[in-house]
Every structure is written in C-alpha cells, then in structure tokens.
C-alpha cells in the first residue's frame, strides 16, 4: 500500500497519492460522475452499471485482482486524479494509465501522477512502461513527454509510448 504527499498548494492543503481501495469508492464515484462527459470526450464510455456505488466497488475489487497497482490522488479528501500500473509482465514491462478531473487540468497534476507511478514502477522492478494516448489529447502527450516517454509507435486512433526505466 502506498500513501505519499506529492505536493503542497499552500501550508494547509496537501495532495495525497494513495493506493486505491474500497474506502475510496464513494469519492471515486463522485469523481467519475463529475468528470464523465470530460473523460468520454477522450476515451470509450464506461458501462452504465459502473456509475453506482456498487459498480465502483466492483471496479475497485476487479482492479485489486489484476496484476498491477491503482492509485487515487486526493486533496482535502476529494479525488483529483487516478493512475494505474497494469498488465505487469514477467519481463518487467507494464502499462500505465491515468485520468485527471477537468477542474484539476492544467495544474501539473497529470505530470505529478505519472512521475509518481514511474517511481513506484521502479520500486516494483519494472524496466519498461507503455502508455496509450489518442490523437485528440495533446495534454496527455505533453504529460508523458515531460516524464521521459518517447514516441515508439503510432497506430490508428491512438499511440503507444515506451519508457525504459
């Protein structure tokens, strides 16, 4: 389980990066509902059943059963972003993914999330990370480039980036 302060916006406000668990379900649901249209402008919509407390609880349990790590970035108990290390391979390869709420975009939060999950990936002994973006999301491309990723392969409707650790 990971919990780390990754930034201070003022002496009274800190952002916490925590391992996602069942205690985050209601906060994660609020985050996903608030940002649903924003996220769906970049990625395929989630099923309707996801957008309920039981749906998010099931999602968290499913994430915990996969090979990977999932995190929430919180400020004053509110989820600002989430990030994942997933599909961990025995060869030391994995994928990362993240999403930043619309209110938190443009503030360096995506960059901070990716930087932190890259450091966790190193702790896990991973040596190559991939991230997938689509061409209508230049902000995500910038976040990945700022964290040392490079363009490896362009494919229709998206791209792949690899980062040797």
Residue 8 structural domain: 3-164
- How many separate domains does the chain show? 1
Q: Is 130 exposed, middle or buried, given 0-12, 13-18 or 19+ CB atoms closer than 10 A?
A: middle
Q: What is the pLDDT of residues 112-124, one digit of tens each?
A: 999 999 999 999 9
The reply to whether the predicted model has a pTM over 0.75 is yes
The position carrying tokens 């249209």 is 37
As a whole number of angstroms, the distance between CA 65 and CA 132 comes to 22
Supply angle C-alpha 6, 99, 113, rounded to 5. 20
**CATH number for 70:** 3.40.630.30
What is the CB neighbour count within 10 angstroms for residue 38?
14
Q: What is the pLDDT of residues 119-163, one digit of tens each?
A: 999 999 999 999 988 877 888 999 999 999 987 766 665 545 555
């Amino acid at each position: 389980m990971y919990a780390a302060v990754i930034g201070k916006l003022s002496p009274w406000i800190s952002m916490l990066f925590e391992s996602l668990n069942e205690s985050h379900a209601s906060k994660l649901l609020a985050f996903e509902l608030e940002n649903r249209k924003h996220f769906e402008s970049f990625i395929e919509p989630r099923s309707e059943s996801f957008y309920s407390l039981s749906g998010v609880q099931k999602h968290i349990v499913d994430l915990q059963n996969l090979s990977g790590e999932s995190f929430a970035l919180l400020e004053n108990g509110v989820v600002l972003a989430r990030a994942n290390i997933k599909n961990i391979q025995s060869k030391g390869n994995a994928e990362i993914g993240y999403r930043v709420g619309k209110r938190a975009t443009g503030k360096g939060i995506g960059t901070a999330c990716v930087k932190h999950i890259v450091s966790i990936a190193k702790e896990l002994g991973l040596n190559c990370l991939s991230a997938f973006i689509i061409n209508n999301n230049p902000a995500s491309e910038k976040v990945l480039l700022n964290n040392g990723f490079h363009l490896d392969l362009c494919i229709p409707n998206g791209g792949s980036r690899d980062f040797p650790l």
